[in-house]
Amino acid sequence: MDYQFERRSIFLAIGIGVIVMTPFLLIFLPKYIARYLYLYNDKNTLHLLLPDGTTTLYIIGLLLLASTLILFGLRKWKFVQIITLVLSIVFFILSTMPYISIGVDGITYRKPLNFEKHQYHWEEMVEVIRYDGFFGDGFNGYGITFQNGETLKISEGKDFNRARSFFLNAVRDHGIEIIVK
């Protein structure tokens, strides 16, 4: 039996498939792409973390891609199709940029929706604050202040649990006091 499908049916099916697969893709896609771009290409990086907001950028990119494919299947609104396709590409590019790398020489990071890369050596840290979310504002993690006034907050999580001992040892080895709040 030979089935002949129209091109629009295939785009609709792929678009709906992307929507269905989005939660599963978000489990491994952001970390895999970040590791490929930033961990495997740098010999000094030991641990790689994703800052808050990265997953949101991936969600927006995947949903825009799905809506683009569905619109291709409907064969209507060509202008909207092009706009959603361009926006999905832009959001995928923006979602691959943020990262926090902890390495032998210090910390390197890029915040979400920011093109500027910040690189600091361990000696450039002024203070490290340990936030306990139980008593405070709900943030559970570490706040790092650098000599130029920049701050970086690293949330507790299973990814940071792997890097915590190295991070704390490096901070203590460089004589930086950890303040608990």
Range of the domain at 124: 110-180
Domain stop point among 95, 130, 162? 95
Residue 2 placed within a domain: no
Alpha helices in 35-77 (DSSP H): 54-74
- Judged against a pLDDT cut of 70, whether residue 79 lies above it is answered with yes
Domain of residue 163, CATH code = 2.40.50
Domain count, the chain: 2
The model's pLDDT over 86-142, given as tens digits with 9 standing for 90+, comes to 999 999 999 999 999 998 889 999 999 888 999 999 999 999 999 887 666 778 889
144's CB contacts (< 8 A; 6+ apart) are 107, 125, 127, 128, 129, 151, 152, 153, 154
Q: Supply the Cα-derived Rg of the chain in whole angstroms.
A: 21
Identify the H or E element spanning 141.
Answer: strand 141-146
Closest CA to 98 of 158, 62, 52: 52
- pLDDT of 92: 92
42 and 14 housed in the same domain:
yes
pTM for the predicted model, two decimal places: 0.81
- Give the C-alpha distances (Å, rounded to integers) separating 144 from 34, 76, 124, 140: 22, 50, 10, 13
- pLDDT of 161: 85
144 and 120 housed in the same domain:
yes
69 and 17 housed in the same domain:
yes
- pLDDT of 100: 92
Provide DSSP, 93-114: HHHTS-EEEEESSEEEEE-TT-
The model's pLDDT over 29-72, given as tens digits with 9 standing for 90+, comes to 899 998 888 888 777 788 888 988 899 999 999 999 999 888 88
As a whole number of angstroms, the distance between CA 126 and CA 82 comes to 48
65 and 136 housed in the same domain:
no
77 and 144 housed in the same domain:
no
Sequence length of the chain is 181
Structure tokens at 104: 């032998």
